[in-house]
Amino acid sequence: MDNLNLQKTVFITGATSGIGEQTAIEFAKHGDKVIITGRRRERLEILKAKIQEDFKGEVLAIHMDVRNYNEVKDVISKLPEDFKVIDILINNAGLALGFVPFQEGLVEDWDIMIDTNFKGLLYVTSCIVPIMIEAGKGHIINIGSIAGREVLPNGNVYCATKHAVDGFTKGLRHDLIKYGIKVTQVAPGATETEFSIVRFKGDKERADNVYKGFKPLIAEDIANIIYYISTLPPHVNIADILILPTSQSGIQNFHRVI
């Protein structure tokens, strides 16, 4: 980064794979300090080493489960001095589990999705907002989904959690406007990461079929857009953005060439 005064500290949840991992790399590549968090300790350490080796980046890796409020609160309250002032929060942690009609769904899957996709986002945000209010600036970027704007059969609870993220993001923007804090939602369409493998509980063949016949987005596409949004002047906020692959026009509508 040419001007070190522009260096920012970026807190990223769900950084152990996919969009979160690529976003951490993107910010580190541009000289920003990154705090990477996630439940998979080994993956965090691998990403930390990569950032340090490839970009000589300043990185703090924190093993943390966003579903545990006390853990989140403790971690954020004990951030080291040089990582304490957080300029950008990227609420990325999220997942889908199962793809069945509601009446066939599993309560444990619902709980994990609600606790991760929505309650975890609330927990992290609630601990970081006071830091931003004290600083008089900041940017909160919530990773939503096209599933927060439309619904599809068998997507019931997952779609509900992403609709909750959409509503919360809009409400938070109202609440924080007087503090000069930006609030953005980034809502990707079909993006090929581990998402479908997790949704189908390790069934790779079924996951691969989701992206058959068209070119989906990849994590790097979303990371590039997140970074761009974060670089705009203080008076400019992209409040909401839906990103689709060219071959997708709706949550279930794809042009596939098979």
The residue-averaged pLDDT of 33-58 equals 96
Q: Show the tokens assigned to 28.
A: 């580190």
The per-residue pLDDT for range 157-185, each reduced to its tens digit, is 999 999 999 999 999 999 999 999 999 99
* 135 pLDDT higher than 60: yes
Domain definitions of the chain by residue range: 4-243
The Cα 172–Cα 141 span in angstroms is 11
The secondary element (H helix, E strand) that includes residue 34 is strand 33-38
Q: Could you give the dihedral angle defined by the CA atoms of residues 31, 35, 41 and 45, in that order, rounded to the nearest 10 degrees?
A: 20
The Cα 253–Cα 248 span in angstroms is 6
The Cα 205–Cα 196 span in angstroms is 10
> pTM of the entire structure?
0.96
What is the DSSP secondary-structure string of 113-158? Answer: HIIIIIIHHHHHHHHHHHHHHHHT-EEEEEE--GGGT---TT-HHH
The Cα 34–Cα 240 span in angstroms is 23
* 4 pLDDT higher than 80: no
The residues that are catalytic are 158
Residue entry with tokens 């996919």? 18
Percent of the chain with pLDDT over 90: 97
* Whole-number pLDDT of residue 2: 40
The DSSP letter of residue 106 is -
- Quickly state the pLDDT bin for 5 (edges 50, 70, 90): low
**CATH architecture group of domain 4-243:** 3-Layer(aba) Sandwich (3.40)
The per-residue pLDDT for range 216-235, each reduced to its tens digit, is 999 999 999 999 999 999 99
- Quickly state the pLDDT bin for 41 (edges 50, 70, 90): very high
The per-residue pLDDT for range 50-97, each reduced to its tens digit, is 999 999 999 999 999 999 999 999 999 999 999 999 999 999 999 999
* 100 pLDDT higher than 90: yes
Percent of the chain with pLDDT over 70: 98
* Whole-number pLDDT of residue 6: 86
* Whole-number pLDDT of residue 190: 97
Residue entry with tokens 């976003």? 23
Mean pLDDT of all residues in the chain?
A: 96
The secondary element (H helix, E strand) that includes residue 197 is helix 195-199
